[in-house]
Chain A
Amino acid sequence: MGDRYAPHVAEIRMALGDKVGESVILEDLEKLVKYRVPLEEAKRSIIKKHGGTGSVRKSLSELTPNDRMLEITVKILSVSKRDVDVRGVKRRILSGILGDGTGQVPFIAWKEFDLKKNDVVGIKGAYVRLWQSQLQVNLGERCEITKDVGEIPEIDAEILPTRLADVKAHMSNLCVVGVVLEARKEVVSMKDGDGERTIIDGVLADESGKLRFTSWIEDERITPRKTLRIENVYVKPFRGVPTINISEEASISLHEEEITPIDGALHCSISELLKRDGALDVIVEGNVVSVRSGSGLIRRCPDCSRVIQNNTCRVHGEVSPVTDMRVKSVIDDGTGSIMLVLSSELTETLWGHTLREAEEMASKRAPDSVERDIRESLTGKRITARGNMNNGEYGASLVAESVSFVKRDVKEEAIKLLKERGVHENA
Chain B
Amino acid sequence: MLDRETAWRIFASEFNRSDLIERGEEKQAPHYLITPTGARCNRVFVVGVITESENIGRENDLWRARVADPTGTFTIYAGQYQSEAGIFISKAEIPSFVAVIGKARTYERGDGEIQRSIRPEELNTVDEYTRDLWILDTARKTLERIDSMRIGIKAGIESEKLAEYLQSQKITRELSDGISRALRHYSEIEEYLKRLEEEVYRAVRTILSEEEMTASRGEAIEEVIEPKEYVANVMEMLDTGNGVHYSDLTEAVSQAKITPETLETIIKELMSEGRCYEPTIGVLRIV
Residue ranges of A at the interface with B (Cβ–Cβ < 8 Å) = 271, 287, 289-290, 330, 332, 334-337, 339, 375-376, 379-382, 394-397, 406, 408, 410-411, 413-415, 417-418, 421, 423-426
B94-116 CB mask vs A (1 if < 8 Å, else 0) is 00001111000000000000000
B90 within 8 A of A: no
A271 to B126, CA, bound (A): 26
Determine how close the nearest CB of chain B comes to the CB of A405; give it in whole angstroms.
9
Are B141 and A334 closer than 8 Å at their CB atoms?
Answer: yes
Are B6 and A334 closer than 8 Å at their CB atoms?
Answer: yes
Task: Write out the residue numbers on chain B whose beta carbons fall within 8 Å of the beta carbon of A380.
Answer: 45, 47, 98-101, 122, 124, 126, 130
Beyond the given A330-B1, A406-B133, please list 11 additional residue pairs across the A-B interface where CB-CB is below 8 A. A330-B4, A337-B4, A339-B1, A380-B122, A380-B126, A382-B130, A394-B1, A394-B2, A395-B2, A396-B1, A424-B215
Across chains A and B, which 3 residue pairs bring their CB atoms closest together, nearest first?
A380-B99, A395-B1, A379-B124
Determine how close the nearest CB of chain B comes to the CB of A419; give it in whole angstroms.
9
A339 to B2, CA, bound (A): 10
Task: Write out the residue numbers on chain B whose beta carbons fall within 8 Å of the beta carbon of A381.
Answer: 99, 126, 130
A337 to B6, CA, bound (A): 6
A194 to B223, CA, bound (A): 82
Q: List 21 A-B contacts (CB under 8 A).
A: A289-B45, A290-B121, A290-B122, A330-B1, A330-B4, A332-B6, A334-B6, A334-B7, A334-B9, A334-B137, A376-B124, A380-B47, A382-B133, A395-B4, A397-B1, A410-B132, A410-B133, A411-B209, A414-B136, A417-B139, A425-B217
Task: Write out the residue numbers on chain A whose beta carbons fall within 8 Å of the beta carbon of B81.
Answer: none
A421 to B200, CA, bound (A): 11
Interface residues on B, range: 35 or more
Are B6 and A336 closer than 8 Å at their CB atoms?
Answer: yes
B271 within 8 A of A: no
Known contacts A332-B6, A414-B208, A421 near B216 by CB under 8 Å: no
Determine how close the nearest CB of chain A comes to the CB of B223; give it in whole angstroms.
14
A410 to B141, CA, bound (A): 16
Identify which of residues 126-145 in chain B touch chain A, using a CB-to-CB cut-off of 8 Å. Answer: 126, 129-130, 132-134, 136-137, 139-141, 143
B125 within 8 A of A: yes
Select A411's contact among B140, B141, B212, beta carbons within 8 Å: B212
Are B136 and A332 closer than 8 Å at their CB atoms?
Answer: no
Are A410 and B122 closer than 8 Å at their CB atoms?
Answer: no
Are A289 and B101 closer than 8 Å at their CB atoms?
Answer: yes
Known contacts A289-B45, A335-B172, A411 near B208 by CB under 8 Å: yes
A88 to B88, CA, bound (A): 64
Task: Write out the residue numbers on chain A whose beta carbons fall within 8 Å of the beta carbon of B230.
Answer: none
Determine how close the nearest CB of chain B comes to the CB of A252; give it in whole angstroms.
35
Are B122 and A414 closer than 8 Å at their CB atoms?
Answer: no
Task: Write out the residue numbers on chain B whose beta carbons fall within 8 Å of the beta carbon of A411.
Answer: 207-209, 212
B218 within 8 A of A: yes
B8 within 8 A of A: yes
Residue ranges of B at the interface with A (Cβ–Cβ < 8 Å) = 1-2, 4, 6-9, 45, 47, 98-101, 121-126, 129-130, 132-134, 136-137, 139-141, 143, 172, 201, 204-205, 207-209, 212, 215-218
Task: Write out the residue numbers on chain A whose beta carbons fall within 8 Å of the beta carbon of B126.
Answer: 380-381
Are A415 and B216 closer than 8 Å at their CB atoms?
Answer: yes
Are A425 and B130 closer than 8 Å at their CB atoms?
Answer: no
A418 to B139, CA, bound (A): 10
Select A425's contact among B121, B122, B207, B216, beta carbons within 8 Å: B216
> What residue in chain A is nearest B173 (Cβ atoms)?
A271
Known contacts A334-B137, A382-B133, A410-B132, A287 near B45 by CB under 8 Å: yes
Task: Write out the residue numbers on chain A whose beta carbons fall within 8 Å of the beta carbon of B208.
Answer: 411, 414-415
> What residue in chain B is nearest A269 (Cβ atoms)?
B172
Task: Write out the residue numbers on chain A whose beta carbons fall within 8 Å of the beta carbon of B100.
Answer: 380
Select A413's contact among B7, B99, B136, beta carbons within 8 Å: B136
Task: Write out the residue numbers on chain A whose beta carbons fall within 8 Å of the beta carbon of B7.
Answer: 287, 289, 332, 334, 337
Task: Write out the residue numbers on chain A whose beta carbons fall within 8 Å of the beta carbon of B130.
Answer: 380-382
Task: Write out the residue numbers on chain B whose beta carbons fall within 8 Å of the beta carbon of A413.
Answer: 136
> What residue in chain B is nearest A334 (Cβ atoms)?
B9
A381 to B47, CA, bound (A): 10
A338 to B217, CA, bound (A): 38
A23 to B248, CA, bound (A): 87
A311 to B233, CA, bound (A): 62
A271 to B7, CA, bound (A): 12
Known contacts A334-B137, A335-B6, A380-B124, A415 near B101 by CB under 8 Å: no
Are B215 and A414 closer than 8 Å at their CB atoms?
Answer: no
Q: Which of the listed residues B9, B132, B141, B216 has the most CB atoms from chain A within 10 Å of its own CB?
A: B216
Task: Write out the residue numbers on chain A whose beta carbons fall within 8 Å of the beta carbon of B47.
Answer: 380
> What residue in chain A is nearest B218 (Cβ atoms)?
A425
> What residue in chain A is nearest B123 (Cβ atoms)?
A379
A85 to B132, CA, bound (A): 62
Select A410's contact among B121, B136, B205, B216, beta carbons within 8 Å: B136
Q: Which of the listed residues A287, A290, A337, A380 has the most CB atoms from chain B within 10 Å of its own CB?
A: A380
Determine how close the nearest CB of chain A comes to the CB of B17; give it in whole angstroms.
20
> What residue in chain A is nearest B10 (Cβ atoms)?
A334
Determine how close the nearest CB of chain A comes to the CB of B130; give it in whole angstroms.
6
A287 to B136, CA, bound (A): 13
> What residue in chain B is nearest A425 (Cβ atoms)?
B218
Are B2 and A418 closer than 8 Å at their CB atoms?
Answer: no
Determine how close the nearest CB of chain A comes to the CB of B265; give it in whole angstroms.
23
> What residue in chain B is nearest A271 (Cβ atoms)?
B172
Task: Write out the residue numbers on chain B whose beta carbons fall within 8 Å of the beta carbon of A271.
Answer: 6, 172
